[in-house]
Amino acid sequence: MAKLEENLSKTSVALKSHRLYSTSGFTYFKNKSFRFYCLLSSILLGLVLLSIIVFIGKTGILVFKDVSVKEFFFSTVWDPDQEKFGAALFILGTFALTALTMVLSVPLSIGLAVFIVEVAPEKVKNIIRPLLDLLVGIPSIIYGYLGLTLLIPFLMKITGAVMGDGLLAAALVLTIMVLPTVTRLSDEAISAVPKEIREASYALGSTRFQATFKVILPAAKKGLISAVILGMARALGETMAVVMVIGNTAQLPETLLTPTAVLTSNIVMQILDVQFDSTWNYGLYMMAFILLLISNLMIIFVRRIRAKGV
């Protein structure tokens, strides 16, 4: 009887060990499978991005078979009917529009972020932050339509200009679009500043203004720079809203109310009218490649800043 009980006990221990080994083996298999899935997803994402860059770059570089590098990048004459493919005016227009947008939006965005984090009571914060998130989600064509129907007539009225299209209208529309993004990212960067830094600043006798602009904002500098660069990336690549308010004319603007064009607006307005194997099409692909390179460089810069901490 004692021997039977001993055998049963050994059998029970063996079954438990087998069950534990089986569970452990299954968990190990799940972990390895999940790790492989994550690795495969990362590789596929990298391959997709690489394929896009290679395809657009390989197609765009064909423009230099018929157009010199000097003409494409430094000429301001874009007239495909006359075989003139100078993209300098679109490149300059793109940088001018992005710079004007940042000049208008960055002070407003950072000021609003400071107000949300440092000044506004909790109830106001709980209202403003969801509103900013909703503004981010509004389609760009809605902003463009409002700019076309409300902003441009308003600019014509107050300036007396014959046309309200141009860099100013596009920059104002982009400012409204970029402001929620830059504000929310700046909000997160300022909120991430340790509470001890604020308390130490106030303990040394700083006013709220001094603590904010001499201590808190410098401490959040890298996060704020990241927010501004990501805002620039959105302004740089925006298409539909810009197309509707900039005028889409291949000329260098004499004033902020002169119709002009940028890389994105020129691509979207002309890409459907050209043959794929034409110099015209290759020129448009090279413009897209320029935008892609600039956007990727901005993102890489942001990642390097983030890697060093806020």
The 10s digit of each residue's pLDDT in 197-231 is: 888 888 888 888 888 888 888 888 888 998 898 88
Strands, E, within the chain: which ranges?
78-79, 84-85
DSSP 235-292: HHH--HHHHHHSB--SS--SSTTS-B--HHHHHHHHGGGS-TTSHHHHHHHHHHHHHH
Q: What's the pLDDT at 15?
A: 47
Amino acid at 25: G
- Is 92's pLDDT higher than 70? yes
Q: How many helices (H) and strands (E) does the chain have?
A: 14, 2
128 and 179, same domain (yes or no): yes
25 and 113, same domain (yes or no): no
Looking at the structure of the chain, the number of domains it has is 2
User: Closest Cα partner for 196 from 210, 179, 186, 211?
Assistant: 211
Mean pLDDT of the chain: 85
Q: What's the pLDDT at 56?
A: 92
A 10 A CB-CB count for 125 gives 15
60 and 171, same domain (yes or no): no
The residue that leads in pLDDT, 208 or 108, is 108
Pairing of strands 84-85, 78-79: antiparallel
Q: What's the pLDDT at 47?
A: 92
- Is 11's pLDDT higher than 80? no
A 10 A CB-CB count for 124 gives 12
CA dihedral of residues 300, 302, 307, 309 (deg, nearest 10): 170
Q: Which of 23, 49, 65 is the last residue of a domain?
A: 65
| Phi (first) and psi of residue 46, to 5 degrees | -65, -40
- By the 8 A CB rule, do 231 and 218 touch? no
A 10 A CB-CB count for 242 gives 33
- By the 8 A CB rule, do 264 and 237 touch? yes
Domain span holding position 23: 2-65
Q: What confidence tier does 7 reach under pLDDT thresholds 50, 70, 90?
A: low
Report d(CA 166, CA 171) in Å as an integer. 9
**CATH label of the domain that carries residue 78:** 1.10.3720.10
Q: What's the pLDDT at 247?
A: 87
- By the 8 A CB rule, do 143 and 176 touch? yes
Report d(CA 18, CA 112) in Å as an integer. 62
224 and 76, same domain (yes or no): yes
- By the 8 A CB rule, do 266 and 41 touch? no
Q: Which of 47, 65, 83 is the last residue of a domain?
A: 65
149 and 236, same domain (yes or no): yes
Q: What confidence tier does 255 reach under pLDDT thresholds 50, 70, 90?
A: confident
Q: Which of 45, 65, 85 is the last residue of a domain?
A: 65
244 and 143, same domain (yes or no): yes
Share of the chain above pLDDT 90, in %: 34
77 and 213, same domain (yes or no): yes
22 and 108, same domain (yes or no): no
Mean pLDDT of 3-12: 52
122 and 193, same domain (yes or no): yes
159 and 179, same domain (yes or no): yes
Burial of 245: CB neighbours in 10 Å, binned 0-12, 13-18, 19+: buried
Q: What confidence tier does 24 reach under pLDDT thresholds 50, 70, 90?
A: low
Q: What's the pLDDT at 203?
A: 84
159 and 249, same domain (yes or no): yes
Q: What's the pLDDT at 253?
A: 86
34 and 113, same domain (yes or no): no
- Is 70's pLDDT higher than 80? yes
Kindly report, residue by residue over 138-183, the tens digit of the pLDDT.
888 899 999 999 999 999 989 888 888 889 999 999 999 999 999 9
Tokens (6 digits) for 178:
């970029």
Amino acid at 39: L
Lowest mean pLDDT among 19-23, 72-76, 244-248, 266-270: 19-23
